Amino acid sequence: MSVPPNSWQPETVVLETSLGNVTVELYWKHAPVTCRNFAELARRGYYNRVKFHRVIKDFMAQTGDPTATGKGGASIYGQTFKDEINKDLKHAGAGILSMANSGPNTNGSQFFITLAPTQWLDGKHAIFGRVSSGMSVVKRIGMVETDNSDRPIDDVRILKAHPEN
């Protein structure tokens, strides 16, 4: 599949999860490449039925890996793409939408939503949006019981993800 044109910029993506809906506003001005990747993966159905594979209370909830291992997933640009770190954006509180990675310039499909301020991630993970509605759902995800590897005991999934204007 091809990469969508630069003119395609849906304002939000809705994550219909097994615990309720979360709408995220995308920061196209600050991270257009990252937003395009996320919105297009959602449009293609890539995130449908994907688990939240890592949840750490008072830190973050991570998803976007179709293998649910924390090691899978690819971007629309190939396996990975470069970081879009913007010094004006900070992991200043709960509800920040940010790319998960395994080091510099290793963004793929995985992302996380913060559950609290996580300032130590500033400059290391590309922020590309925020939760605009459904924060109560994010808080519930953040409180699920997990095993000693931070994997939810009972599956929490994105049932469907789709961009909206």
Residue 157 vs residues 3, 18, 43, 87, 94: alpha-carbon distances, Å: 26, 5, 17, 31, 20
Burial 78-101 (b: 16+ CB within 10 A, else e): eebbebbbbeebebeebbbbbbbb
CA 93, 95, 96, 100 torsion: positive or negative?
positive
What pLDDT does 124 receive?
A: 97
Q: Rounded to the nearest 10 degrees, how much is the dihedral formed by the CA atoms of 82, 87, 88, 92?
A: 90
Q: Which residues contact 79 (CB under 8 A, 6 or more apart)?
A: 108
What pLDDT does 4 receive?
A: 85
Contact at 8 Å (CB) between 35 and 128? yes
What pLDDT does 48 receive?
A: 98
- Residue positions annotated with a catalytic role: 54, 59, 62, 101, 112, 121, 125
Average pLDDT along the chain, 165 residues, taken 10 residues at a time: 86 98 98 97 98 98 97 94 96 98 96 98 98 98 98 98 92
Length of the chain: 165
